[in-house]
Amino acid sequence: MATSSVSKGCFVIKPKDSRKRKLPNAADYFNNGKAVSENDKLRFSTYQSLWQQMKEETERLQEHLNEKIFDSLISFIKKSCIQMNSDVNDWSYRMRYSEIPTAALVLGVNVPDHEMTLQGLSSLLKQSVTPHIVFLQGKECTTVKQILQKILMQLIGGNGSDEEKEEDLHHSFEFHQRKMNCSMVSLCRWYNAITKRPHFKIESLESTFGHLEGGKVSPSAVCIHPVFALNSTTKSPTKKKKSLLQHKEVHPIVIIFKDLESFVPKVLQDFVVIASNHVQRLPMVLVFGIATSPITIHQMLPHSVSSLLCIELFQSLSCTDHLATVIDKLVLTTKFPFKLSGKVLQILNNVFLFHNLSTKNFVKGFQLSLLEHFSSQPLSLLCCDLDEASARIQNLNHDDCELIRHLQSFMDYVDRQDAKKQVELLTNDQNLKTVTETLLSSLHVYHKNYFPVLKCLHILASSLPKYPLGRQIRELYITCLESNIWELEDYTSAFQLLGMMAKDELVCLLQKCIEVLQASEHESLTQAIKTLEDFLAKFQKLDDVFVENVEGTEEHKARSQYSLQKKTDLYQLQKTLMEMKELKRSRKPSRFEILRMNVLEFMDKLARQYLLPPETQPLHELVYFKISGELRRHLNAAPRAALQIALSNPYSYLKNEALKSEEGTITNVAPDICIIYKLHLECGRLINLYDWLQAFATVVCAAEGKDPDKDNGQVDGVLYARFIRAVSELEFLGFIKPTKQKTDHVARLTWGGF
């Protein structure tokens, strides 16, 4: 009977399974339940290859964007640790004796991206500064003791970011926890053993740390000056410093607080006070990951504690600038053949702006779009490089050719051809393959011209007040994808504002446009580059003409000013003003105004020629993902609707034929919570629990073949427990709540169902 209690003899021990679990073949999802064909395998391999290229490009982009701030952080950490191979260190004089070097890293409100940024920082620190990196989260560090446990556990594991290794070490760490006191003294001893530094006697601190219980610690109990912690053979701090200077390299312990705002202020204060008394024996650097504002540090830490930190501020790149760069490298490029339609890009943009501001989630949405495109479009195997697509076209079978003929864009293309060519396209597969290869090549050229001209139009429009065509290029791109942009009123108003632009501003914008077109290196835009360069040369000639005519203009202004200033009556003044107005109206436009008008007409011509919507291009379905409803269903979750659908129609999720039922009926074989939910839909605002229980027993007994009136209305204990559990689950989901109006009733919180 000594082990009669289950809680005394039951332990969870996770076995170490060295064998890798066999994952299902992902290519099976591309066949819609049919046998896997060669085209399905080819589509899946194309998806994998294309996504791998995009992923690598995103990672390189992330490293490039964070390169500047990472370099500054690494430089700060290197300088903040006292260099042991020099007699004088300027940085050490900036810090007081007990100050801890602290980097306040403002990451922004895009919290999902913080993990990726901090992991990149950790990798660089391990390569160039120190292998001792610790990650702390507020939800795991509610006491000082837990902070010290996490620090020791991650340092012993050697990789604080590896969650699996940390979990494996957790059990062994708990086993030795009684022998090793989780204190700063233990951390100092571990660091001295790892770095083979001189060990100092600090028994007083070890005994003092016994006051730490449940995270409550008296800072005064551990505020012992390092001088008194020295060995008796050490006579002065000066000799100690000289002995330490013999070491050439110091590997500090970098403690990264991922989410500073979620830490308990009192716990953080106690930890800083304790750490400041060991910073000379234990080189530490704190990195505060801040999502809101640097003022958070002073709100959480009083002046007496914040004065123990030597803080330097670091500001990361804003999430909107990061997204603009990602879109430029993944979307507005011909490097990757896959493209997004206007509605799909608008959904991803809205999720970014109104939900999380996370570039990481935007890339995940982009990956989901790529996967859905290759899964739903059988001809997506041609969504690859142009040379590879030409080889794949020749291997298409008759069924694939029929799929091409049924594309709406190809049908429109066939309708524009003469009768003889229409017959060839609809009957001759070889001729179809040749035309398909030509159309894909034309689609590639369309994108080569589209993106440089789009960027030029954005350069012109982004300099206008109130941004009629959008401030970001993604807004302009979405507009161009959905319609003919030159038919919009905003486009007309934008060119009207450009018609009032000064010469210096217009010349600067033209120079930027020329640089963008030259970077495209496409032959069809060579003539456009030459025309813009001619416009620039003409603007330069206008400066010489302006110098020659400036004297005549000044003389004319002086004459007009004299005629207005001389003494006259009201009639003569009105007559003079009318003459000046007529003269201004009948004045011919200047050479600059004519040249500016010609420039705007040329840019408008480029937009009308190259910024056609993708729907005008044959075979655009092969590379453009347009199923916005599927993407919205995955990204814009509606939990209430999903819950009500699952409870009212469990077949939609469980796919059990026995659960099929007519609308308005209750299936007696459904899960208990589904039966409870449907019964509660028949009640009013208040639900009698006894009546609810009797109705539930009637439905369940009918499923089990029992007579509900056999026990004179008494409900079986097991059935009663099932009812209580189902009601509790329904209350947890927010459909009902207890009410004080009637003790044996519950209140209904929702009305209607799906």
pLDDT of residue 249: 65
Domains along the sequence of the chain with CATH: 99-307 (3.40.50), 485-611 (no CATH), 639-748 (1.10.10)
Flag the least confident range among 455-464, 522-531, 553-562.
553-562
Tell me, rounded to whole angstroms, the distance of Cα 611 from its chain centroid: 29
Selected residue with higher pLDDT from 472 and 97: 472
Flag the least confident range among 18-27, 97-106, 401-410.
18-27
Rounded mean pLDDT, 362-372: 94
pLDDT tens track for 484-531: 999 999 999 999 999 999 999 999 999 999 999 998 877 888 999 999
Task: Give the whole-angstrom CA distance, residue 539 versus residue 544.
Answer: 10
Q: Is the pLDDT of residue 255 over 70?
A: yes
Instruction: Give the containing element (helix H, strand E) for 53.
Output: helix 38-65
Selected residue with higher pLDDT from 552 and 119: 119
Q: Is the pLDDT of residue 12 over 80?
A: no
pLDDT of residue 551: 44
pLDDT averaged over the chain?
A: 80
Flag the least confident range among 288-292, 597-601, 711-715, 733-737.
711-715
Task: Give the whole-angstrom CA distance, residue 609 versus residue 603.
Answer: 10
Instruction: Cite the DSSP H helix spans in 378-525.
Output: 386-394, 398-405, 408-415, 419-427, 429-461, 473-482, 489-498, 503-520
Q: Is the pLDDT of residue 204 over 50?
A: no
Task: Give the whole-angstrom CA distance, residue 237 versus residue 228.
Answer: 10
- The pLDDT confidence band at residue 361, using thresholds 50, 70 and 90, is very high
Q: Is the pLDDT of residue 566 over 60?
A: no
pLDDT tens track for 346-357: 999 999 999 888
Q: Is the pLDDT of residue 555 over 70?
A: no
pLDDT tens track for 635-694: 887 888 888 888 888 888 887 877 877 666 777 788 889 999 989 888 888 999 989 998
**Orientation of helix 489-498 relative to helix 591-610, angle to 10°:** 150
pLDDT tens track for 257-309: 999 999 999 999 999 999 988 887 888 899 999 999 999 999 999 999 999 99
- For the chain, give percent helix, strand, coil, nearest 5: 65, 5, 30
Task: Give the whole-angstrom CA distance, residue 82 versus residue 84.
Answer: 6
